[in-house]
Amino acid sequence: MRRIVVVGGVAGGMSAATRLRRLDEEASITVLERSGHVSFANCGLPYHLGGVIEKRSSLLLQTPESLAARFAIDVRVHHEVRAIDREHRRVSVRDLATDESFELGYDALVLSPGARPVVPNLPGMSVAHTLRDIEDLDHLVAAARDVEAAVVIGGGFIGVEVAENLVHRGIPVTLVEATDQVMAPLDPEMVEPVHDALRAAGVQLVLGASVERIEPAHVTATTLDDGTVATAVGVPVVHLSDGRALPAGLVVAAIGVRPERALAEEAGLAIGERGGILVDEQLRTSDPAIFAVGDAVEKHDGLDASSVLVPLANTANRQGRVVADVIVGRPGADRPVLGTAIVGVFGVAAAAVGWNEKRLRAAGRPHRVLHTHPGSHAGYYPGAETIALKLLVDPDTDAILGAQAVGRDGIDKRIDVIATAMTGGLTAGELADLELAYAPQFGSAKDPVNMLGWVDRAVADGDVETVQWHELGAALAAGATLVDVRSPAEHAARPIPGGVNVPVDDLRARMDELPDGPLVVHCEVGLRGYVAARLLAQHGREVRNLDGGYRTWRAGTAATHVAEEVSAPA
Amino acid sequence: MRRIVVVGGVAGGMSAATRLRRLDEEASITVLERSGHVSFANCGLPYHLGGVIEKRSSLLLQTPESLAARFAIDVRVHHEVRAIDREHRRVSVRDLATDESFELGYDALVLSPGARPVVPNLPGMSVAHTLRDIEDLDHLVAAARDVEAAVVIGGGFIGVEVAENLVHRGIPVTLVEATDQVMAPLDPEMVEPVHDALRAAGVQLVLGASVERIEPAHVTATTLDDGTVATAVGVPVVHLSDGRALPAGLVVAAIGVRPERALAEEAGLAIGERGGILVDEQLRTSDPAIFAVGDAVEKHDGLDASSVLVPLANTANRQGRVVADVIVGRPGADRPVLGTAIVGVFGVAAAAVGWNEKRLRAAGRPHRVLHTHPGSHAGYYPGAETIALKLLVDPDTDAILGAQAVGRDGIDKRIDVIATAMTGGLTAGELADLELAYAPQFGSAKDPVNMLGWVDRAVADGDVETVQWHELGAALAAGATLVDVRSPAEHAARPIPGGVNVPVDDLRARMDELPDGPLVVHCEVGLRGYVAARLLAQHGREVRNLDGGYRTWRAGTAATHVAEEVSAPA
Ligand SMILES: Cc1cc2nc3c(=O)[nH]c(=O)nc-3n(C[C@H](O)[C@H](O)[C@H](O)COP(=O)(O)OP(=O)(O)OC[C@H]3O[C@@H](n4cnc5c(N)ncnc54)[C@H](O)[C@@H]3O)c2cc1C
Ligand SMILES: Cc1cc2nc3c(=O)[nH]c(=O)nc-3n(C[C@H](O)[C@H](O)[C@H](O)COP(=O)(O)OP(=O)(O)OC[C@H]3O[C@@H](n4cnc5c(N)ncnc54)[C@H](O)[C@@H]3O)c2cc1C
Ligand SMILES: CC(C)(COP(=O)(O)OP(=O)(O)OC[C@H]1O[C@@H](n2cnc3c(N)ncnc32)[C@H](O)[C@@H]1OP(=O)(O)O)[C@@H](O)C(=O)NCCC(=O)NCCS
Ligand SMILES: CC(C)(COP(=O)(O)OP(=O)(O)OC[C@H]1O[C@@H](n2cnc3c(N)ncnc32)[C@H](O)[C@@H]1OP(=O)(O)O)[C@@H](O)C(=O)NCCC(=O)NCCS
């Protein structure tokens, strides 16, 4: 009889345990979990805070009892594994309820300890809440009662979700993010709708400032007339690097997570360059009897096989299943990760897959960039919402390197389709040939994903040359003339400075009005600009099209202004 | 200067014309369109009838004027091409407004005449409306005023959409379908939610009956006391094969479409076995100067390369673009089709890609079948809707042969992901490894598509054997015992006749209650049945799991009853 011990009883750990039972009815399977709950919906925690998920019990997908009944798994909550004795293949366990310790032998040990929230070592930070498990949630819910203002530190997906849900509770929220944008997976010109949604919902967004210290709540004591002393407890004040002081009855730190690796490290298991537990393709650590999965391990990047940390539930669950197969001796191998992710906030969804432009640039990897702004479904059918889409493509191979989508509808679908295309090895141009389900309420005869394929081919085939939003200034400085091919009304309402206006439909007739020399054409989103560029090129003009049109330019420029303000001395 | 003439100015034809202009600023491009409009949204027509698309003008995406302005295309509506003089490369055109005819020479001719509604040759059928273009819509909208009851003949996607939109107008509708189900792309056990949605919205659904004749409206004349004659016009009566007589002020025939091939046929161009214009990979007809695209041509099936008719907008638009490339001498090739399609009706969406089981069976092609009933997103987050999913897999290669999805949310996404996986050559098992965007309002950590992959692997790896809903009777007749592993309450509420009830969580303790011999286990959707099957198999029992559980069995059985009633003599 195999003895299997699993450390951590949530996404990766419990997926491994249940799969192990399905594969081996005889094995002894013990799951040790430090917190008071297993198999809870981590990803749902923020939504119970905001009352979106009404019942706390909805978050508890399984209990030790249900897992014992169905899978004959010995699940022990409030049990922390303190050390691994690799030589004797046993773990030392602390029962946190009784404070007693004991040893437990294993033939195979699975570590799925997850990742812990980073809490910066700053004065007063101990008042800050973090959100990782049910206990954290309970504390947060209790602390959120009668709070007049909250500060959320960190604009990653958990910070953004917590901010949204505090607003749902009616608490005014300031979100403080040290960089110049929330949601780091998005490039700066893509993030604007998320910033807008946060602001429109009343979140005070502070970008480019960091927390320097938290001043504890002052207790003021007043001696009353009758000689008794009345004490009043104030609220902590969050002091920012830009000098702001924000009184906040509630502070939540959500500046990221780090692999929970102490146990592995102390046992002498190899740790990778990113600080995660190092595992091979079979999820084996440097000790062949010990496996590790989930947020705690380093993964291999789907594009360049480099080590990456991808703390996402899909990966943790899949690895849990793979490790079970490996342990019973079946073929099973971990896959490189694309890191597909999505967040929803106040009705806006933002999703990404693969690499973003920031990362491609930092790595010096050549890339072609495309921006489009299609409707989520056919424009003639009511309710279509604009999607901001970005595709990053390898200019040599046409391989898809990454994609981003932001908007109110159809975001998850487009990113899922592109993630699937990447996994299937389709090129960017091949997106044009996908047969996607079309009726007017669901998409377009040429779906936004198809359209990305055509826009890509137009560039790849040399039919059009594009200028990116951040290259426009240089192009104009080098002498190009900017031609706005939108209607006069659009030109007047939303101009790019320095542009002359000749609508695309008048171009053939008014071509002689255009000054000599290189041209950059632009429209609202890039389509009419492309049509104009094709026309002008065939009439012998040197012309480039502003990729993504006015909209991408405006979003990018707005983001740059933020960045400049942020980096300017306070 | 190239002279290009395009016949048919909508999806395929106009896509070809605009792309041609982008590729060749010099060409003379003439588009001839029989109806009074070009570039209209065929797929939106039913929704204007119902007022969902309020403005008729929303359906007119481009006009002859806008196309002349932007693309310098000579667009002539009310111009019908009557004949092709292949020898002299010219078409003879009738101006339907003036009734004058003229000839027009071409270097390349593009036929995109579409498909015309089939109208059965039955007595009285001439009163029936069809819906193909704006003129048809105008007639239909006019005829729908003051109508007390309507009959829609045909349960394909246009029939279903027309029925829905007549209900939106407040008109009681009877939908008559000759087979035992609407939406032929779906297998019988998948279609039930569509039938339910139609009935719940008040549509009288008549399955398995066909129209035999339509009795014209009677005019009754009454001589009044003063000697004058008053006439009253009744309504036509639709007589069905089952003896029913349905009075209907409005009759719409939507029993399918046939390639509009007369022009090509009369010109001696090759016609394929399915009745569509025959084209090669470059969309060239048997005359190298004549090309054809869209609903009028035969396509090659993505699975077996056989000739198929796929009258869908995505294909027509893509072919229009390819043919333009070919005409200017660029590389360009048509692709085999998967036929991804979707329809929405009263909030239920039904989508399919690839082959269905009916077709696989008819072709004698081996296939593995999987049914699941996952939530559209994480169950702990409010608003999740059940999806009925079906996957068809090649048992030898694990290739995905087809998929179907029906439900109220996330249908388009799942079918699009599977269609993309098929195009990328991913196997069914590889669906498990897809990294799909997950936050609780958008999906699940193990997305329904991932789950299909695991369910497939469990069968492929021999971990479980399944019984299909239609095989259960035979399995039980051959001596297997049916074990319902749901809770006693579920068993009592929704039993499959003949099953004994031992909840999965009690199985280990109560195993000796199970009779000897082969077992079939079942639960509500298949998951607990799978867990039970794994357990029992490891305890040495011969066991199979009812694929898709009670739900698929019930839906399939209900469909079979319909089919039996339908085929029984009236
Ligand atoms: C608030 C929040 C929202 C999230 N939202 C999303 C989302 O929308 N989408 C998404 O993809 N991902 C989301 N995630 C991330 C996702 O939950 C994780 O990727 C996933 O849970 C990781 O699984 P895991 O098994 O590695 O770790 P976990 O699920 O975190 O489980 C690890 C468990 O191990 C226990 N443990 C650690 N050390 C020990 C020890 N020594 N002894 C005993 N027990 C120990 C811990 O108590 C913990 O419960 C979210 C996470 C949080 C916290
Ligand atoms: C009501 C309705 C709903 C639909 N819904 C959907 C949907 O939801 N999803 C989907 O994918 N598809 C849908 N379709 C199908 C889709 O519209 C077609 O696949 C697509 O339009 C085919 O393009 P085509 O260019 O081949 O033909 P069409 O778009 O039909 O254009 C052909 C044109 O050629 C003209 N013509 C024919 N012969 C001549 C001639 N001799 N001279 C001059 N002109 C001629 C006709 O008048 C016609 O306007 C729907 C169709 C209809 C009618
Ligand atoms: C729920 C949890 C215990 C895992 O349980 P699990 O048994 O592995 O997963 P599921 O209940 O989804 O069942 C999956 C199994 O059922 C099978 N299955 C699913 N649907 C099926 C169906 N309709 N018919 C037959 N089999 C089915 C799958 O093939 C899979 O089996 P396999 O792995 O042996 O191939 C674990 O994931 C967990 O603790 N989750 C909560 C925490 C978490 O995931 N957090 C992050 C997200 S919030
Ligand atoms: C609308 C219609 C005239 C086609 O016009 P079109 O110019 O081919 O199509 P679009 O306006 O979508 O533009 C597509 C072109 O713009 C380019 N493009 C799209 N978005 C772009 C962007 N943001 N930036 C740059 N280029 C862009 C594409 O690459 C493509 O060009 P290419 O084919 O040369 O590569 C034709 O499809 C039609 O008549 N449709 C109505 C009928 C119909 O489709 N019915 C069935 C469905 S209801």
Same domain for A140 and A236? yes
Quick one: average pLDDT of A88-102?
Answer: 98
Please check whether residue A73 touches B, CB under 8 A. Answer: no
At A485-518, the pLDDT tens digits run 999 999 999 999 999 999 999 999 999 999 999 9
Same domain for A156 and A66? no
Pairwise CA distance, residues B474 & B488, whole Å: 25
Assign B376 a pLDDT band (cuts: 50, 70, 90). Answer: very high
Which amino acid type is present at position A423? Answer: T
Pairwise CA distance, residues B506 & B490, whole Å: 15
Query: Which residues have a Cβ under 8 Å from the Cβ of A387 and sit 6 or more positions away?
Result: A372, A373, A374, A375, A376, A405, A406, A407, A409, A410, A411, A414, A448
- Give A317's DSSP letter: H
Nearest chain B residue to A462 by CA distance is: B23
At B290-301, the pLDDT tens digits run 999 999 999 999
At A15-68, the pLDDT tens digits run 999 999 999 999 999 999 999 999 999 999 999 999 999 999 999 999 999 999
Pairwise CA distance, residues A45 & A33, whole Å: 18
Q: Is residue B28 part of a domain?
A: yes
Q: Which residues pair with B129 in a beta bridge?
A: B252
Same domain for A522 and A494? yes
Whether the CB-CB separation of A429 and A460 falls below 8 Å is answered with yes
- Written as six digits, the tokens of B479 are 């001596």
- pLDDT > 70 in chain A, percent: 99
How confident is the model at residue B42, as a pLDDT?
97
Domain end marker among A433, A460, A487: A460
Quick one: average pLDDT of B355-361?
Answer: 98
**Chain B residues 438-467 with a CB less than 8 Å from chain A:** 438-443, 445-447, 450, 454, 463
Pairwise CA distance, residues B496 & A266, whole Å: 56
Q: Is residue B333 part of a domain?
A: no
Q: Is residue B510 part of a domain?
A: yes
Sign of the alpha-carbon dihedral angle for A277, A279, A282, A286: negative
Question: ipTM surpassing 0.85, yes or no?
Answer: yes
Domain end marker among B436, B460, B484: B460
Assign A97 a pLDDT band (cuts: 50, 70, 90). Answer: very high
Quick one: average pLDDT of B379-401?
Answer: 98
Same domain for B78 and B129? no
Q: Whose CA is nearest to atom 8 of ligand 4?
A: B15
Q: Which residue, among A287, A280, A50, A311, has the nearest Cα to A173 in the 3D structure?
A: A50
* Statement: residue B569 has pLDDT above 70: no
Residue list, ligand 4 pocket, CB within 6 Å? A 372, 445-446, 451, 454-455, 458, 525-527, 530; B 10-11, 14-15, 18-19, 22, 39, 41-44, 61-62, 313, 317, 321
Q: Work out the number of other CB atoms within 10 angstroms of the CB of residue A229.
A: 8
Q: What are phi and psi of B151, to 5 degrees?
A: -120, 125
What is the full DSSP assignment across A127-166? G-B--SSHHHHHHHHHHTTT-S-EEEE--SHHHHHHHHHH
Chain A residues in contact with B508 (beta carbon < 8 A): 72
Mean pLDDT score across all residues of chain B = 97
**Ligand 1 site, residue A263, Cβ cutoff 6 A:** yes
Same domain for A77 and A130? no
Q: Identify from B45, B301, B380 which residue to disrupt to test chain A contact, counting A C-beta atoms within 10 A and taking the largest count.
A: B380
Q: Is residue A332 part of a domain?
A: no
Same domain for A98 and A149? no
Same domain for B392 and B454? yes
Pairwise CA distance, residues A362 & A84, whole Å: 39
Distance of CA A198 to the CA centre of its chain: 16
Residue list, ligand 3 pocket, CB within 6 Å? A 10-11, 14-15, 18-19, 22, 39, 41-44, 61-62, 313, 317, 321; B 372, 445-446, 451, 454-455, 458, 525-527, 530
* Statement: residue A570 has pLDDT above 50: no
Same domain for A303 and A377? no
Pairwise CA distance, residues A429 & A456, whole Å: 6
Whether the CB-CB separation of B291 and B110 falls below 8 Å is answered with yes
CATH of the domain at B145: 3.50.50.60
- The verdict on whether B43 is a catalytic residue reads yes
- Written as six digits, the tokens of B257 are 């479409």
- What global pTM score does this model have? 0.97
Sign of the alpha-carbon dihedral angle for A368, A371, A377, A381: negative
Same domain for A417 and A380? yes
Helix (H, G, I), strand (E, B) or coil at A364: coil
Which amino acid type is present at position A244? Answer: R
Same domain for B249 and B261? no
What b-and-e string marks burial along B238-271, b requiring 16 or more CB atoms within 10 Å of the CB?
bbbeeebebebbbbbbbbebbbbbebbeebebeb
Beta pairing class for B466-467 and B543-546: parallel
Owning domain of residue B427: 347-460
How confident is the model at residue B570, as a pLDDT?
46
How confident is the model at residue B568, as a pLDDT?
64
Whether the CB-CB separation of B208 and B561 falls below 8 Å is answered with no
Pairwise CA distance, residues A293 & A13, whole Å: 8
At A316-331, the pLDDT tens digits run 999 999 999 999 999 9
Pairwise CA distance, residues B67 & B74, whole Å: 8
- Whether A420 sits inside 8 A of B424 (CB atoms) is yes
Same domain for A242 and A272? no
At A367-399, the pLDDT tens digits run 999 999 999 999 999 999 999 999 999 999 999
CATH of the domain at A522: 3.40.250.10
Pairwise CA distance, residues B200 & B206, whole Å: 14
Domain end marker among A278, A299, A327: A327
Query: Which residues have a Cβ under 8 Å from the Cβ of A322 and sit 6 or more positions away?
Result: A282, A283, A293, A332, A333, A334
How confident is the model at residue B12, as a pLDDT?
98
Pairwise CA distance, residues A423 & B125, whole Å: 52
Q: What are phi and psi of A221, to 5 degrees?
A: -110, 130
* Statement: residue A420 has pLDDT above 60: yes
Nearest chain A Cα distance for residue B310, angstroms: 12
Chain B residues in contact with A442 (beta carbon < 8 A): 342, 344, 349, 412
At A531-551, the pLDDT tens digits run 999 999 999 999 999 999 999
- Written as six digits, the tokens of A452 are 């990305």
Q: Where are the alpha helices (DSSP H) in A32-151?
A: 45-49, 64-71, 134-143
Long-range contacts of A162-165 (CB under 8 A, 24+ apart): A162/A46, A162/A49, A162/A131, A162/A252, A162/A254, A163/A198, A163/A203, A163/A345, A164/A46, A164/A50, A164/A198, A164/A201, A164/A203, A164/A345, A164/A346, A165/A46, A165/A47, A165/A49, A165/A50, A165/A51, A165/A52
Pairwise CA distance, residues A355 & A364, whole Å: 12
Q: Is residue B120 part of a domain?
A: no
Query: Helices H, strands E: what count in chain B?
Result: 16, 31
Pairwise CA distance, residues A319 & A8, whole Å: 14
Distance of CA B263 to the CA centre of its chain: 27
- Written as six digits, the tokens of B262 are 């007369």
At B27-78, the pLDDT tens digits run 999 999 999 999 999 999 999 999 999 999 999 999 999 999 999 999 999 9
Q: Is residue B567 part of a domain?
A: no
How confident is the model at residue A30, as a pLDDT?
98
Q: Is residue A569 part of a domain?
A: no
At B499-512, the pLDDT tens digits run 999 999 999 999 99
- pLDDT > 90 in chain A, percent: 95
Whether the CB-CB separation of A172 and A202 falls below 8 Å is answered with yes
Same domain for A23 and A93? yes
Count of structural domains, chain B: 4
* Statement: residue A102 has pLDDT above 50: yes
Quick one: average pLDDT of A428-444?
Answer: 98
How confident is the model at residue B221, as a pLDDT?
85
Quick one: average pLDDT of A447-457?
Answer: 98
How confident is the model at residue A568, as a pLDDT?
64
At A165-212, the pLDDT tens digits run 999 999 999 999 999 999 999 999 999 999 999 999 999 999 999 999
Q: Is residue A89 part of a domain?
A: yes
List Cα–Cα distances, B566 to A70, B327, B561, in angstroms. Answer: 44, 51, 8
Active site residue: A23, A43, A119, A535, which one? Answer: A43
